[in-house]
Amino acid sequence: APGQPLYGLIGKMKAVPGQRDALIAAILEGSAAMPGCLSYVVAKDADDADAIWITEVWDSEASHDASLQLPAVQASIAKAKDLVASMETGVVTTPVGGIGLKA
């Protein structure tokens, strides 16, 4: 909705050793179609073979919260649960601009 602040998340997760690719696949599978998601990037940490970063931009916090109920996301969370060793960083942000934000 116009005027409503965007909602962003930046998180770092450590995969169970050897399971990073499987974790990435599970996450990407679940995050393909999420209403209100303007940006969702999954990236490998270049220096830590077990770590991944997920950076997200949503048109509102409500859209993000609603996505957690989507069947595909629930399935992905269930699959990812056993592949995640730890959550390391979790930051909430208010995105204010940039490139690559789906209109």
Work out the angle at residue 32's Cα, subtended by the Cα atoms of residues 29 and 38, and round it to the nearest 5 degrees. Answer: 140
Structure tokens at 25: 């696949």
Pick from 64, 53, 55, 54: which is nearest to 7 by CA? Answer: 64
Can you tell me the distance from the alpha carbon of 99 to that of 30, in angstroms, rounded to the nearest whole number?
24
Spell out, one character per residue from 55 to 74, where the chain touches its own copies: x when CB under 8 A holds, - when not. Answer: x-x-----------------
Query: Which member of 37, 70, 72, 84 binds its own copies (CB under 8 A)?
Result: 37
Least distance CB 43 / its own copies (angstroms): 4
Site for its own copies, rule CB under 8 A: 6, 8, 10, 24, 28, 31-32, 34, 37-47, 53, 55, 57, 91-102
